Amino acid sequence: MIQRYHKVEAPAGSFPVFDIGRSEVVLTSVSLFPVNPGEQIMLRMEIGWERPVQWDTGELEVAVRHGSKVGPVVYWTTENCFQEAKTSDSFTVKASGFAEHFYLTVRSAEGRARIKGPFQLEGKVGIAGRSTKEQP
């Protein structure tokens, strides 16, 4: 049973494709409240992206930050592709306050990524014990 839910997404084609460089870019964010400290928050993210034509491979760093767009990282991965990719993952974190805010961010140190969509971040607070991966 889901108690609280928030999803923000941008479908492919709803925005122009854009380049990602060395500066971190916030794609979207979700907020969940009220949340009790210790409750499990299930987060799911998805990003459709491609390599720029001048590169043989693409590279994208993905992070989910907690609290603010410069807050602590609660999830991080680096992805590679030869042409295009859809990066998606689910994980859980424990709530620490009454209201929880999460930010989906990306960067590419050498400018080897373009966001083409879709992208989304989804957060749910539900029954504990039904989680996928838990991040420290």
* ∠ Cα 53 87 63 (to 5°): 100
Enter the tokens of residue 27.
Answer: 């794609």
Using 50, 70 and 90 to split pLDDT, how confident is the model at 12? very high
- pLDDT tens, position by position, 77-133: 999 999 999 999 999 999 998 999 999 999 999 999 999 999 999 999 975 544 444
Mean pLDDT value across residues 51-68: 97
Using 50, 70 and 90 to split pLDDT, how confident is the model at 1? low
Mean pLDDT value across residues 51-63: 97
Q: What percent of the chain lies above the pLDDT cut of 70? A: 91
Residues 6+ apart with CB under 8 A from 74: 43, 64, 65, 66, 91, 93, 102, 135
The confidence score (pLDDT) of residue 2 equals 60
Radius of gyration (C-alpha) of the chain in whole angstroms? 15
Domain residue limits, the chain: 2-128
d(CA 120, CA 86) in angstroms, rounded, equals 11
Q: What is the DSSP string of 101-119?
A: EEEEEEE-TTS-EEEEEEE
2-128 CATH choice from 3.20.20.70, 3.30.365.10, 2.30.31.20, 2.60.120.760:
2.60.120.760
